[in-house]
Amino acid sequence: MKKIAALVLSCATAVLCMSVAQAEPQFEKAEDAIKYRQSALSLMGAHSGGLAPMMRGRVPFDAEHVKAEVAILKSLAGLPWKGFGEGTQGGNARPAVWEDSAKFEAAATKLQDNVEKFSQAAESGDFERIRAAYADTGASCKACHDSFRQRR
């Protein structure tokens, strides 16, 4: 009985590991990775930018809408970095992404940390706290763009 239980556990673990491995994006060509990261970053910009009128007081504050948008941002914040592997140079990314990868990875981590803080602020429903976290998240985006994005 113990052998059967151990076998079942081993099989379940193997299936789970295979599922996780398959969840990672796979890129056959550098162009695929570039499109992937640009798409993820574009979606992040759209969802973040969509909150700007509210954060600037131009439209009424809607805590539930903010929570929903920030939940999407939180999901998206981990995606683009998988598309910056070695051999995927190009697009709007400066060579510094690969030449100073430690700085780039630190910028990606800072953005993800700020999105997490933004999520926590959104859960609070406190507009001033949310607005401050929105500004910090935007500053993370700008800092990365200033260092690692080419303007075309």
Residue 15 lies in a domain: no
Residue 9 lies in a domain: no
* Radius of gyration of the chain from its Cα atoms, rounded to whole angstroms: 19
At 23, is the pLDDT very low, low, confident or very high (cuts 50, 70, 90)? low
Q: How many domains does the chain have?
A: 1
- Read off the pLDDT of residues 84-141 as tens digits, 9 standing for 90 and up: 999 999 999 999 999 999 999 999 999 999 999 999 999 999 999 999 999 999 999 9
Helices (H), the chain: 2-23, 30-49, 52-55, 63-76, 96-99, 101-124, 127-148
Residue 12 lies in a domain: no
Question: What is the mean predicted confidence (pLDDT) over 75-82?
Answer: 95
Give the structural domain span for 83: 29-148
Residue 14 lies in a domain: no
CATH of residue 75: 1.20.120.10
pTM of the full structure? 0.81
Residues 135-139: contacts with CB under 8 Å, at least 24 apart: 135/55, 137/48, 137/73, 137/111, 138/48, 139/114
